[in-house]
């Protein structure tokens, strides 16, 4: 049974934005989240658990990217989340340097 046309994304640019946001943006947010956690908590424990939890978070973020109506908005959300997590990582690294 073919998909209903009203649920498909008509623009190839929107399709590209959703796919790239799902793969690259989701990975970027998942990695930055675990990097930010590693600077504030025990970095060895975070790195060990991130082998599984980063993949699960990435898969969830991939699904969320396809649930959105606009792929460029999803890119904006993922970039904003990455910048916020990067700032948390930066200040965590300044406060608790890993030597």
Q: Tell me: the pLDDT tens digits for 18-76?
A: 999 999 999 999 999 999 988 888 888 888 988 899 999 999 999 999 888 888 999 99
Q: Give CA–CA dist 27/50, Å, rounded.
A: 12
Return the DSSP state at 25. I
User: Are the beta carbons of 47 and 38 closer than 8 angstroms?
Assistant: yes
pLDDT at 6: 74
pLDDT of 9 above 80:
no
Q: Give CA–CA dist 69/11, Å, rounded.
A: 12
Give pTM, 2 decimals: 0.83
Domain boundaries, the chain: 13-93
User: Are the beta carbons of 58 and 27 closer than 8 angstroms?
Assistant: yes
pLDDT of 87 above 80:
yes
First-to-last C-alpha distance (Å) of the chain? 58
């Amino acid at each position: 049974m073919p998909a209903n046309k009203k649920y498909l994304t008509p623009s190839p640019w929107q399709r590209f934005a959703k796919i790239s946001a799902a793969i690259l943006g989701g990975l970027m947010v998942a990695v930055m989240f675990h990097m930010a956690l590693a600077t504030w908590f025990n970095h060895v424990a975070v790195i060990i658990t991130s082998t599984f939890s980063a993949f699960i978070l990435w898969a969830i973020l991939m699904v969320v990217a396809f649930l959105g109506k606009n792929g460029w908005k999803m890119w904006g959300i993922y970039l904003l989340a990455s910048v916020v997590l990067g700032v948390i990582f930066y200040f965590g690294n300044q406060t608790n340097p890993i030597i």
